[in-house]
Structure 1
Amino acid sequence: MKTTQAAVVGCGAIHTLHVEAIQSSPASQLRAIVDIDPVKGQALAERYGCDYYADYREMLSDSEIEVVHVCTPHAAHKAIIIAALAAGKHVFTEKPVALNPGEVKEIKHTLANTAARLGVCYQNRLNPSSQKIKTLLENHRYGKVLSIKAMLTWSRSHDYYTHSPWRGNWASEGGSLLINQAIHTLDLMQWFAGGVTSLKGVVESSFLGAATEAEDTAIANMELANGARGIFYATNCNTTDSALLLEIHCEKGLLQLHHNDLWFISGEDKELLISDEAPNAAQKCYWGNSHQQAINNFYHSINNADNHNYVDIHQAEISLRMVEAIYRSSITRNWTDI
């Protein structure tokens, strides 16, 4: 079996899921990590038994490395992705793929001139409940979809932003709540509906106004590609991380995802369709359990030319455009096309 050599750039909280996925597969091996903090980086390299680099550009000169995982703050994504692709490396990046659609255009230009692949981590598409919903809707099991409603009420403290100053800033994060926490939910809504055509939204800064220059709360109504309405609400101002509430109203009843359980509700009848496995103690509840599968799928795809079982830049761009459209609509107070 061919063993693919990998490097992970950025050693914040999310990087551990990437390292675990690489190390747990016989098809991949962690060759290097990259972090600008030499003390932290050296210590982690010793723990993982791999090389350490302070500069990702130096790492890219290693011809043995085939895949680069990007786990840095958002503002660094574009430069690292473009450099890695130009060096002939495949790239698997955390969301968002870039700060805005303009940066996506630059990445696409580089991608078009290389044989390397770029995958984006929208792992929640792979949750058992998400897969079940997608299949049911594609098979029209419950008739026409009338609306999709999503409510995300999580908790972020002032310390969350002050301890990581890149968070909540337009220049370094590209926004706040929408582009970081809520982008997964926006992606699921449009994925279930086959896309989104237009939306009207509002962003506000309230309880976290002193900690972030961007939004802590957002609402949006959407015209979805399947003709359904989209109703979206998200906030980081809750006092706890509540489970995502997702409801899909169909002609024959209601699909409801809450607390990792997917139900079908019709009148007084309520049927449990599937349950997601709760995240283990090493993972945050809102990450889900599907990083491993998303990474495995990408590695399988790069080793099988006809396989494209991963979220590419064209799919990843949709939710980023939704984020940008909500920001724009909040200013103009008008419907915005996607």
Structure 2
Amino acid sequence: MAERYACRYYADYREMLCDTEIDVVHVCTPHVAHKEVILAALAAGKHVFTEKPVALNPGEVKDIKTALKHATSQLGVCYQNRLNPSSQKIKSLLEANTYGKVLSIKAVLTWNRTQDYYAQSPWRGRFATEGGSLLINQAIHTLDLMQWFAGGVESVKGVVESSFLSNATQAEDTAMANMQLANGARGIFYATNCHTTDSPLFLEIHCEEGLLQLHHNNLWFIAGEEKNLLACDEIPREVQKCYWGSSHQQAINNFYHSIQTPDNHNYVDIYQAETSLRMVEAIYQSSITRNWIKI
């Protein structure tokens, strides 16, 4: 890789952190290493842009927040789907109360992860190294969007199961949950890695005056027989995995711009990123206790 891009490489990330020419560290490691690398980078005075989740669990998040209080650098988390045109449009419409009170938000995510996917990277699908499986890896983006649209989440009741992938993962391959969202709406959530293809996210927001419906990267408003296209997430042809979205570069650009202009806090920080991680933990807990779990 270093030869291909004509760049320096390091066998140990701690050696890299001693390089004074490096200003920003991108954390793209297995989940289990996120906390360790983030803490070391902050201590070295580096800005950090990390892939989700920011850590394995809320306990690790607490340690990172403590370190940030004494750091001179910034930490951003990659929840790029907030920046998709459809997501931005939904957020602005809901904030403006364009279609009245939000009654419910439903999200359905059906993707395909094979046994080979887990065999090729043994850290996946294990609580000790990934923090779980489907919820904390693939579906956490969907949970983040749901709570972001609603202004937060109050409580969750859910269940997780391992079925088709029970021989490949020690954690769940399917999950479902009901939520009490902060805006008073209900949240209805279903996700699985057991589909045979990676279908685009289906998200529906029921407002007093109609439905906001995101499907196949198109955002529609539906009221009775009326159906209007409001936004379209155009995916460049070179982006092969279109179901991931196409806003990674925008998220990185926003973080870099915020570093250069400290008054412009235009990125997902650890406090925002913590909510979706707490939702994941709450669904796991609820699946054991069969109770509602407060966030």
Q: Normalization by structure 1: what TM-score?
A: 0.86
Aligned-residue sequence identity (percent) comes to 79
Partner of 1:166: 123
Runs of 4+ in 1 over 6 A off after TM superposition: none
Query: Which amino acid counterpart does residue 123 of structure 1 have in structure 2?
Result: Q
Give 1:45 deviation, angstroms.
1.1
Q: Residue deviations 1:216-256, cap 9 Å, x none?
A: 00000000000000000000000111110000000000000
Q: State yes or no: 1:47 paired with 2:4.
A: yes
Q: Unaligned stretches of 5+ in structure 2? A: none
What is the CA RMSD across the aligned residues, in angstroms?
Answer: 0.7
Give 1:284 deviation, angstroms.
1.3
Q: Partners in 2 of 1:196 and 1:250 — Cα distance?
A: 17
Task: Work out the number of aligned pairs and report it.
Answer: 295
Query: Which amino acid counterpart does residue 165 of structure 1 have in structure 2?
Result: P
Give 1:283 deviation, angstroms.
3.6
Q: Partners in 2 of 1:284 and 1:181 — Cα distance?
A: 13
Q: Partners in 2 of 1:227 and 1:146 — Cα distance?
A: 7
Q: Partners in 1 of 2:255 and 2:147 — Cα distance?
A: 22
Query: Which amino acid counterpart does residue 88 of structure 1 have in structure 2?
Result: G
Q: Partners in 2 of 1:286 and 1:315 — Cα distance?
A: 23
Matches within 5 A, 1:1-338: 44-338=1-295
Q: Partners in 2 of 1:282 and 1:142 — Cα distance?
A: 33
Query: Which amino acid counterpart does residue 121 of structure 1 have in structure 2?
Result: C
Q: Residue deviations 1:183-229, cap 9 Å, x none?
A: 00000000000000001000000000000000000000000000000
Query: Which amino acid counterpart does residue 150 of structure 1 have in structure 2?
Result: A
Q: Partners in 2 of 1:92 and 1:79 — Cα distance?
A: 14
Q: Residue deviations 1:284-312, cap 9 Å, x none?
A: 12221100000000000001010100000
SS in 2 for 1:173: coil
Structure 2 contact 110–198 (Cα < 8 Å) conserved: yes
Structure 1 contact 279–288 (Cα < 8 Å) conserved: no
Q: Partners in 2 of 1:305 and 1:190 — Cα distance?
A: 26
Give 1:115 deviation, angstroms.
1.3
Q: Residue deviations 1:133-164, cap 9 Å, x none?
A: 00000000000000000000001111000111
